[in-house]
Amino acid sequence: MKKTAKRVIPGFGLSLGITLTMLSIIVIIPLISLVIYTLKLSPKEIIDTITNARVMSSFKVSILTAFIASIVNLIMGVVLAWVLVRYDFPLKVILNGIIELPFALPTAVAGIALTSLTTDNGLIGKFFAKFGIEIAYTKAGITIALIFVGIPFVVRAVQPVLEKLDGSYEEAAQTMGASRFTAFRRIILPEIFPAAITGFGLAFGRCIGEYGSVVFIAGNMPYKTEITPLIIMSKLQEYNYSQATAIALVLLIFSFIILFVISLVQHRNAKILKGG
């Protein structure tokens, strides 16, 4: 005769109802329709689509550029977080505020701005053109756009962790005779590592799927600078939904793997800290 327990705080039914309804319209039903549509595709069609040489090379371009951009952001993210937490200097508030620009600035605007900077006539492009280096319409250009997009992720993941480390850890290490660098490597780095990896993973996931900032600077030459989201977009413009879906599935699976790895890292870290 077990009844469901009464809840003391009111609003459970109402909240559950509204949450599920809205979630259904925006997330659940669209996801289900994706699954239904996928099931209608024949495995052969999916495999043929994704093993197509042009598609395969787009995966390579997307993963390579996203990876390099995220590595740059991993390193610079830790440096920026460190500088923002540990040092006082002029314009710190502005530096801290502008980090989030890529979240606030529409990607298309960033895309055209970066493109005009890096073409042969652009401020930066002109400089590199003297040495025969092209940036816009090459993989270097794509990487630069992706660096822009991914900047906030690592900084914002590492910053709160560094803020919580109140310096007594390093002091403890130093009283035991560790040098500042050793203290950083042995004490600080392990503390911020899970956060940095989380930020890296989020940036990587974002970069793999990025479209707006990349289309303008990429030049979109098949086999060379064509990224996967762009291939999906052109399939959609040809109303070729089945091939677009097949390629999208690969990208989706890839992002879920990234998310899974992030949660593994976090889980392992929580285990060490809480001994669970």
Partner 1 sequence: MYVELKNINKSFGDFKASDNVSFEIEKGTLVGLLGPSGSGKTTILRMIAGLETPDSGDIIINGKRVNDVPAGKRGIGFVFQNYALFRYMTVYDNIAFGLTVQKVDKRKIDKRVNELIELIGLKGLEKRYPSQLSGGQRQRVAFARALAPNPQLLLLDEPFAAIDAKVRQELRTWLKDMIQKLGVTSIFVTHDQDEAIEVADTIIITNKGKIEQVGTPREIYTLPKTAFSCSFFGNASYLNNYEKFLSFDKIEGVEKAIVRPEFIKITKKDEFQKYVASVSEGVVEQVMFRGDTTEVIVRVNDSVIVAKRGLDEPTIDVGEKVNVFIYRIFVTVGDNAYLLENKNLNESSVVI
Partner 2 sequence: MDNDKKGNPIVKWLLIALSFIFVVLFLVLPLVTVITQSLRSGFETYKKAVTDSYTVKATVLTIEATVSAVAFNTIFGIFAAWLITKFKFKGKKFLTALIDVPVTISPVIAGLIFLLTFGRQSVIYPYLQSMGLKIVFAVPGVVLATIFVTFPFISRELIPVLETQGTDEEEAAALMGAKGFTIFRRITFPHIKWAFLYGIVLCTARAMGEFGAVSVLSGHLRGKTNTLPLHVEILFNEFQYVPAFAVSSILVMMAVIVLAIRSILEYRGKKAE
Give the footprint of partner 1 on this chain (CB under 8 A): 2-3, 5-6, 8
CB 225 within 8 A of CB 153: no
Which of partner 2, partner 1, none does 255 bind, CB closer than 5 to 8 A by kind?
partner 2
Q: List the single partner that 6 binds among partner 1, partner 2, none, CB under 5 to 8 Å by kind.
A: partner 1
Shortest Cβ distance from residue 5 to partner 1 (Å)?
Answer: 4
State in angstroms the smallest separation of the CB of 132 from partner 2: 21
Beta carbon nearer to partner 1, 8 or 14: 8
Secondary structure of residue 53 in the 3-state scheme: helix
3 binds, among partner 1, partner 2, none (CB under 5 to 8 A by kind): partner 1
Nearest CB to partner 2, comparing residues 93 and 176: 93
Beta carbon of residue 163, minimum distance to partner 1 (angstroms, whole number)? 21
Residue with tokens 């052969």: 44
Buried b (16+ CB within 10 A) or exposed e, 55-69: bebbbebbbebbbbb
Least distance (Å) between residue 232 CB and partner 2: 5
Return d(Cα 256, Cα 260) in angstroms, integer: 6
Cα–Cα distance for residue pair 14/32, rounded to 1 Å: 24
**Contacted by 161, from partner 1, partner 2, none: CB < 5 to 8 Å by type:** none
CA dist list (Å): 165 to 35, 153, 254, 276: 45, 20, 34, 22
